[in-house]
Amino acid sequence: MALLIAGAMGSWKRQLHLLHRWLGIGIGLLVLLWFGSGIVMMYVPYPKLSEQERIAWLPPLDGTQVKVSAWDAWQSTAQPGAPGAVKLNTVAGRPAYHFMSNGRWSSVWADTGAALHVTEAMARSAASSAAPGATAWSVEQIDQDQWTFGAVKMHRPLYRVEAADAAGSVLYVSGRTGELVRDTTRSERAWNWAGSVIHWIYFTPLRTNGQPWRQVVMWTSGAAFLLVLAGMVLGIQRVRLRQRYANGRLSPYRGWQAWHHWLGLGIGTLTLTWLFSGWLSVTPFDWLSSPGVTAKDRLAFAGGPLNQEDLSVALAPPIRARSGLLELEWRRVGGKLYFSALERTGRNLLNTDSGAVLSSVPTEALLHAVRATRPDVPLLAVDRLTSGDSYYYSHHADRTFPVLRAQFALADETTFYIDPAQGALVGHADHNSKWNRWLFNGLHQLDFAASLRARPIWDVMVASLSVLGAMLSISGLVLGWRRLSKRRPRLQQR
């Protein structure tokens, strides 16, 4: 019986050892690249056009050119219902309305009421503000490329504008509104190939189809988790604290094997948590999925869709009152209309009648609006936050403060964060998203508390641990290469 048990144990360990070896040979390089690319992503995020860049590059709005109301412009599109969002800004020197409907933008000239059709010349004009030193331009129409995933999909087709400037700028202009919607530089693109593209397996042919990409990320990170888990089990089993190996050694290994053994024991647990949390990032099997702030929530908070009265409001008072106006956005809160005005100094909320700047939407109006998102459920608590809590805070993304935090008396702990200065829902948390916050942000980014998020403490901690993880991966790759090199002569002899 003892021999049978010993044989079974030996067979089990052998199979685990083979699993660890061949998984390491198969995806060890990818794990190494994940560690390296993670460091790059700490400093170079995936390209996007920030609001500060829009503020710097948008041309001023000339209100005297606006001859058509937003309602008449919307009617000219012949689209049913009401637009989900409306804004007014300048395109190619002329005012234009932009309407969001059914997940797509469409635009109408505000001086004539005619449909806006984007041309290459308009795309070049929009891009020129972001690359003023360019000596030449190259324009082509595309549907998407490596740098146009995410929110810009609602602007497709896009105009890709290459600028002959010192930064190697490539700009993307909406084929629907004529606005600049994304900017990249040569340095940013190069670092992203070493960062987000590798880390997220963000290659265009794969990322174009969301579900296959999600499956690839889920199964590769799952396989990497098994690789490290098997290594941890084997590594712990090989350590001897009492009956030590020759010369009193705790490990039977030497050279690269010893490095791999001790690095695995030292950082293996953290590597497991990183791989597990990376696996969670694509919500495998819809586990811990959360809806976030939905279109239905925003519509209820607004008090219904924009209507003819909202889109017929006279624009002269707010435009005259704000000489540096760049863009007007229609914003409803609990059935009342406001204008969100973008200026060189930032974004302000305006009274639609006078154009006066409002410090905030009244608290009672905000609470009335947020109650409409869950009309049959009482609010459990309402707080005013001037700094972050555990689920709404600044780290990789800047958050607006102060905010109202409104929690409903629901089993899923539904909570909304509301920006009173702009009258907008800016955050959401529920039971699933709270778990995901700790299991992903906490484990993957070591984002557990404000003291750990402080820079450069966070940078030093994450980068140092990532380097150790990379060393573990390198030692494993060396051992895997040596194993394959030994097998090659045997195969050649056969």
Rounded to the nearest integer, the mean pLDDT of the chain is: 93
- Report CA torsion sign: 150, 94, 339, 312: negative
At position 79, the amino acid (one-letter code) is Q
DSSP string, 385-427: ESS--SSS--SSS---SSEEEEEES-TT--EEEEETTTTEEEE
Q: How far apart are CA 415 and CA 332, in angstroms?
A: 20
Report the pLDDT value the prediction gives residue 8, as an integer from 0 to 100.
55
Report the pLDDT value the prediction gives residue 2, as an integer from 0 to 100.
45
Residue 244's SS3 state is coil
Please give the average per-residue pLDDT across 368-397, as a whole number.
95
pLDDT-based confidence at residue 61 (cuts at 50, 70, 90): very high
pLDDT-based confidence at residue 317 (cuts at 50, 70, 90): confident
Residue 3 has pLDDT above 60, yes or no: no
Using a pLDDT cut of 70, give the percent of the chain over it. 96
Residue 404 has pLDDT above 80, yes or no: yes
Residue 43 has pLDDT above 90, yes or no: yes
pLDDT-based confidence at residue 396 (cuts at 50, 70, 90): confident
Please give the average per-residue pLDDT across 284-296, as a whole number.
92
Report the pLDDT value the prediction gives residue 416, as an integer from 0 to 100.
98
Of 394 and 10, more confident: 394
- Domain borders along the chain are 361-429
Confirm if 279 and 222 have CB atoms less than 8 A apart. yes
Closest by Cα among 331, 293, 288 to 440: 288
Report the pLDDT value the prediction gives residue 319, as an integer from 0 to 100.
84
Torsional class of 131: left (φ above 0), alpha (ψ -120 to 50), beta (otherwise): beta
CA dist list (Å): 406 to 85, 368, 403: 24, 11, 10
Strand (E) or helix (H) holding 8:
helix 2-41
pLDDT-based confidence at residue 10 (cuts at 50, 70, 90): low
In this predicted model, what pLDDT tens digit does every residue of 475-492 receive, in sequence order? 999 999 999 988 666 555
Report the pLDDT value the prediction gives residue 4, as an integer from 0 to 100.
44
Q: How far apart are CA 372 and CA 353, in angstroms?
A: 25
Lowest-confidence pick of 186-195, 370-379, 477-486? 477-486
Report the pLDDT value the prediction gives residue 20, as an integer from 0 to 100.
95
In this predicted model, what pLDDT tens digit does every residue of 132-189 receive, in sequence order? 999 999 999 999 999 999 889 999 999 999 999 999 999 999 999 999 999 999 999 9
Please give the average per-residue pLDDT across 27-42, as a whole number.
96
In this predicted model, what pLDDT tens digit does every residue of 114-138 receive, in sequence order? 999 999 999 999 999 999 999 999 9
Please give the average per-residue pLDDT across 219-247, as a whole number.
93
In this predicted model, what pLDDT tens digit does every residue of 268-285 receive, in sequence order? 999 999 999 999 998 888
Dig out the tokens for 369 from the structure: 């609006």
Please give the average per-residue pLDDT across 104-121, as a whole number.
97
